[in-house]
Amino acid sequence: MVKIKSDRQMDAMREAGRVVAQALAAAKEAAEVGVGLGELDAVARQVLEKAGATSPFLGYRPEFAPVPFPATACISVNDAIVHGIPDDYRLCDGDLVSVDYGALLDGWAGDSAISFIVGRPRPEDVRLVDTAFEALDAGIAAAVVGNRIGDIAHAIGRVCRGAGYGIPDGFGGHGIGRDMHEDPGVPNEGRAGRGMVLRHGMVLAIEPMVIADGSDAYYPAPDGWTLRTVSGARAAHAEHTVAVTDAGPRVLTCL
C-alpha cells in the first residue's frame, strides 16, 4: 500500500536526504587512485554519525541475502552494477565507481546513488555515467501529479535503450518513507500511461542502472550481495529520492 506523506513529513525527509547527499559528496571527494573501498565507507559513515543519522543499509537483510549487509555504503566498481560490499579493494586509474547511500534521520529515510570515474576517464565510461544521470533526470521530470508510474519507467527506459545500453531486469526504484523500501515499485522500463496514478505526497526513489554493452544479464557474486554483469561490461547507477508534489517533482537528496 502506498503511504502518502504530508508536507511536514516531506520536509522531514528532505533533511534525511540532505545527509545522504553530504555523505555521497564526501565519499566522492575521498575517492582517488589507491584509496580502499572500506575507507570510502568510513568517510561517509562519519558524515552520517555527525548528523545524528543511522544507516538503513547496515545490517539490512532482504530475503535474497545470505548475510546482513556489513557496511553503510554499497560501492560497486566497473562490472558491478549495484549492492557492492566495500572491501579492501583499492581504486585503480579509470575505475567506474557507483556509490549508493542511505540515511535514517528522525524516523525518515533517504536513498541516493552516484556514479563517477576515478583518475583518467575512458570516453565510453563518461558517456555511460552521463546517460545514467540523464535517465534519472528524465524519470524525475515524469514524476508529476497525474502521470503514472509507467510514465517514469518509460522515460527512464527510453533514455537508456536510446543510448544502446542494457537495463538489468527486475531491479529498479521504489517508494520510500519511514521504510527504505515501500510501495510502489518503480521499474526502469515500462509503458507510458500504465500503472498507479501519481499524487501529491508520494515519495519515490528513482534509480536507473545501465549496462554498457546493451546486455541485461547479471549474476550475484559469491558474496551473495554484489550484482555483476554477465558480459563483464561496465555498469552505472544514479538515484534520487523524489517527492511528487502539486508544485512539481521535489528532489530530496540534493545538498
Q: Where does this chain bind Mg ion (CB under 5 A)?
A: 100, 111, 113, 205, 239
Nearer to Mg ion, 247 or 255 (CB): 255
> In one letter, which amino acid is 223?
D
Nearer to Mg ion, 183 or 213 (CB): 183
* C-alpha 91 chain-centroid distance: 20
CB of 62 to Mg ion, least distance (A): 12
Nearer to Mg ion, 54 or 231 (CB): 54
Omega of the bond leading into 68 within 30 degrees of 0 (cis): no
Question: Grid coordinates 554477465 are at which residue?
Answer: 230
CB of 20 to Mg ion, least distance (A): 9
CB of 25 to Mg ion, least distance (A): 15
Whether the Cβ atoms of residue 79 and residue 228 lie closer than 8 Å to each other: yes
CB of 101 to Mg ion, least distance (A): 7
Measured CA to CA, the distance from residue 98 to residue 115 in angstroms comes to 4
Nearer to Mg ion, 111 or 125 (CB): 111
Nearest by Cα to 214 from 228, 227, 226, 231 = 231
CB of 151 to Mg ion, least distance (A): 19
Nearer to Mg ion, 185 or 220 (CB): 185
Measured CA to CA, the distance from residue 211 to residue 124 in angstroms comes to 12
* C-alpha 3 chain-centroid distance: 21
